[in-house]
Structure 1
Amino acid sequence: MMNPIANTAVFVALTGSQNALERKLTALRSLATAFCIVAAFCLLGKGIFELFGITLPALRLAGGILVFLVGYHMLQGSSSQMHSNNPSSESEDEDKDIAISPLAVPILSGPGTIATAMNYSASGGFLNIMVTMIAFAVLCMITFICFLYGPKLIDKVGKSGINITTRLMGLILSVIGMQMLIQGVHDAYMLFQLVS
């Protein structure tokens, strides 16, 4: 769900007025927050399911729709509302913490990312949870490197390179979303057969 290169463009735009040290601190705080949020949902996924009476097929169906919508918007060359920063028309406070919002939530750990993490971690045991968390940690480190070298990366890749990467990621996310939907429908059918 996280697209480091596309998110780097957003990060550079949001931190344009910051110096190198402030930009580094913002990147660290936003990625640490995003990782903690996703890790919490990975670890507490099954507990959340039991508390609210949610089934795995329901999560796969809802998560598949969310992931597909994000991918579809990326394929169209536009950012999904779940992964974009829409500055309000009101004057913003200079000390507003952009590391938490909008960077950590919803750009880095939006609904689609959380649903995907819960889907992969809740479908198995402790090993699945650890693999999901390690994969997200690696992705956070890659994103941190992209954030550090953001301005240089944007200059080298250019706007067309970012557009191509975004569309390719959109295609992949759309396919992942459809796969989650298909698996959700299959699992819901099997659950219905067991109940009846």
Structure 2
Amino acid sequence: MSSSLSLFLVSLSAVFFVVDPIGVVPLFLAMTAGDSRDKIRRTALRACLVACGLMLFFALFGSIIFKVFGVSLGAFRVAGGILLLMTALDMLRARPAATRTSPTEEQEGAVKEDIAIVPLAIPLLAGPGAIATAMVLMARGGSSLRTMIPVLAAIVLTFVSCYFILGASSLVQRVLRQSGVAILERVSGLILAAIAVQFIADGAKDLMR
């Protein structure tokens, strides 16, 4: 029992800090500028559900999938960095990100921006580092059910916390108002671009090895 509790606490701290929902709040505010409170909560809920599902999936089957398809974590990191960089450039130019609108919605003449899946869930919340952490924790604990449950529970609890943290960001948005959000959007775009470049650089190093 004590070993399971110890594994749970280690897993919870590791997953929570690598996901870093508090650090995502400024980016989340910038990308949901002008949205209603209900839409912000729905976006946060969808992002957390997708990210949590992805983390659980890779925790259980990640090592098998990478071996089957011959995909390295470095390649995944570079792909995530490119997606982040595209969004960051649009934020710096104060225009809607092209990754938010699907071709079908454009053909129907509906303008619907959706950042819940990309880049919020992937790769901001469930990025290469978070996925790698989940896979390492599962490998460290072993394949028995008693050691798998604490890691999986830590992932679920982390994203429950993510939902409440991101859902409360609307309070900050009301305080900042439009001018404050506009400034935050450009600053966040610069930070996001730096994160994207770091993702690409780390991935390139992994690939070169």
TM-score by length of structure 2 reads: 0.61
1:73 and 2:90 aligned: yes
Aligned partner of 2:45 in structure 1 is: 32
Give CA deviations for 1:32-86 in whole Å, capped at 9, x if unaligned.
3321211121122315434433211111111111111111211122231224699
Q: Does 1:142 align with 2:161?
A: no
* Matched positions, count: 164
Distance in 1, matches of 2:197 and 2:53, equals 26
- Once the two structures are superposed, the pairs formed by residues 1-196 of structure 1 within 5 Å of their partners are 3-12=27-36, 23=38, 28-45=41-58, 46=62, 47-83=64-100, 88=106, 90=108, 106-111=114-119, 113-116=121-124, 117-124=126-133, 125-126=136-137, 136-147=159-170, 149=171, 153-154=173-174, 156-190=175-209
TM-aligned CA distance change 1:119 to 1:174, over 3 Å: same
**For residue 117 of structure 2, what is the amino acid of its counterpart?**
S
The structure in which a higher percent of residues are helix is: 2
Give 1:36's aligned amino acid: L
Measure the CA separation in 2 of the matches of 1:109 and 1:7.
12
For the residue of structure 2 that corresponds to 1:39, the secondary structure is helix
Partners in 1 of 2:158 and 2:96 — Cα distance? 24
Q: Structure 1, residues 88-129: CA drift from partner, whole Å, max 9, x if none? A: 57487xxxxxxxxx67xx4122156413424012333228x8
Could you tell me how far apart the structure 2 residues matched to 1:83 and 1:188 are? 29
Q: Distance in 1 between matches of 2:29 and 2:120?
A: 18
Task: Report the Cα offset of residue 27 of structure 1.
Answer: 5.3
Whole-angstrom distance in 1 between the partners of 2:185 and 2:102: 16
Amino acid corresponding to residue 92 of structure 2 in structure 1: L
Change (3 A) 1:89 1:158: farther
Matched AA of 1:168: V
Paired AA for residue 114 in structure 1: I
Cα RMSD between the aligned structures?
3.5
CA contact (8 A) 2:91 2:186 kept: yes
Q: Which moved more, 1:30-39 or 1:180-189?
A: 30-39
